Amino acid sequence: MNWITRERPKIDRLACPWLIKRFIDRDAVIYFVPEGQVLSQAQPLNAIPFDVPGVEYTHYEDRCTFDYFLQKHSLTDPALQAMAPIIRGADTDDHALAAQSAGLWAISAGLAFNIANDQQLLDQGLIIYDALYSWAKHLQAVKHTQSPTERLLLQVLHSYLQPTGKRKPPTWVHELKELIQDQIDTNLTLSLTELSESLDVNPAYVSRTFARYFDDLSFGEYIRKLRIEKALQLLETTAYSLSEIAYLTGFSDQSHFTRIFKKLIGQNPSDYRKSRLKSKADTKS
């Protein structure tokens, strides 16, 4: 099967040939020609045109050609579905659609700048999209690095707050525990007075009007909401224990964390994690 599109591909015109070759027709031949020649060359080459106006395989409303290929050929692989908004965001300059869209655009634009031959460009593009597919299928929950602050706090937690044997922890251990809780995730342990001083606004005024601009929540309730949101992210993307997550989100202990989490989310953290894991497993099956 032959396919034809505009020359100098960047996003859609690399993503679609990758999709064709990997999931529709491994022996497909892709032609790149000047934009004005796509339709005139399609018939003699017996090629299906794509990503040009007025043909079947093209943009529709806010969707790009990659989206149409997925729909047309009933490609429901969750990894492909995860790639779609990334490609759409990069191709339409709507980088708010996915965090990875801006990076995909930057890599694709640089690739096209460096490689003048479109077939060579396609060969390199296939490698890029193979990598993106592997990420989408196997690595979405994997972090490049663990937060240095999280790593340090967990080292302290395991080294000092869980002593072996029957020795009673010295007084300084309890003091250290309090210090750790004060410093956990500095963005979530802010003083309203200090913030007001930084803004050069009266603290009483900020306190009185805070709820008006922050989801109708008091300062304390808003900080608690942020801590729970951080806990949700850790439950879904890490293998930390509940006690570790409690420390990393600023709760005094696991039971306090569990109580507040259940009050706000409607289920305890362990049940939430199990349900999310089950949901992901069902999606992949």
For residue 240, the model assigns a pLDDT of: 87
Please give the residue range of the domain that contains residue 203. Answer: 148-284
Which pLDDT tens digit goes with each residue over 19-33?
Answer: 999 999 999 999 999
- Say if residue 124 is in the same domain as residue 154: no
- Say if residue 204 is in the same domain as residue 280: yes
- Say if residue 132 is in the same domain as residue 162: no
- Say if residue 64 is in the same domain as residue 110: yes
Domain finish residue from 82, 113, 139 = 139
More confident residue, 104 or 204: 104
Q: Is the pLDDT of residue 188 over 50?
A: no
- Give pTM, 2 decimals: 0.55
Tokens of 32: 């790149």
For residue 15, the model assigns a pLDDT of: 98
Tokens of 245: 């997550």
Phi, psi angles (nearest 5°) of residue 2: -105, 145
Which pLDDT tens digit goes with each residue over 206-220?
Answer: 777 777 777 788 777
- Say if residue 191 is in the same domain as residue 270: yes
**Rounded-to-integer distance, Cα 128 and Cα 115, Å:** 14
Domain finish residue from 108, 139, 170 = 139
Q: What is the CATH number of the domain that holds 156?
A: 1.10.10.60
Give the number of domains in the chain: 2
- Say if residue 118 is in the same domain as residue 212: no
- Say if residue 210 is in the same domain as residue 96: no
